[in-house]
């Protein structure tokens, strides 16, 4: 196999619901902006375990995963490298605290999301709002 062959990197993101809002983190490292909690999946780790670990590391919240939302794989979704994100919907109790590589963590209402979102998280959240309003998940046919 060629040394130039590169695979996409597996990542996870979590839409954490608390009451009527969702948790976003303010990224400490580039690319800056608000983002869904998430990160890289470690070798030997399931996507589900990575999601709950990343949520705890970045927000201090113990998240209960409820469902797989969608998989986002646009090669341009992360300006640093090609990643594939498995996105979950989960819930938690308590107040999020920015930890690890999260400068801040806060609950936002869906009607009052920040405009400076990192990665493709604006598109993910538009899909999520459509799901909340219609019950329809994103479809690979529409991509």
* The two three-digit tokens of residue 21, written as one number: 């809002």
Pairing of strands 9-18, 83-91: parallel
Residues carrying an active site annotation: 104
Total length of the chain:
143
- The b/e string for 25-44 (b: 16+ C-beta within 10 A; e otherwise) is bbbeeeeebbbbbbbebeee
């Amino acid at each position: 196999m060629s040394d130039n062959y590169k695979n996409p990197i597996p990542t996870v993101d979590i839409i954490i619901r608390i009451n009527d809002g969702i948790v976003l983190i303010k990224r400490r490292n580039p690319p800056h902006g608000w983002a869904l909690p998430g990160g890289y999946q470690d070798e030997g780790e399931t996507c589900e375990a990575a999601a709950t670990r990343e949520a705890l590391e970045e927000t201090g919240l113990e998240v209960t995963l409820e469902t797989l939302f969608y998989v986002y794989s646009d090669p341009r979704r992360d300006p640093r490298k090609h990643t594939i994100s498995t996105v979950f919907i989960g819930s938690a109790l308590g107040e999020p605290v920015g930890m690890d590589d999260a400068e801040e963590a806060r609950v936002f209402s869906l009607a009052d999301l920040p405009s400076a979102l990192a990665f493709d998280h604006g598109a993910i959240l538009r899909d999520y709002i459509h799901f909340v309003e219609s019950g329809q998940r994103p479809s690979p046919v529409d991509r």
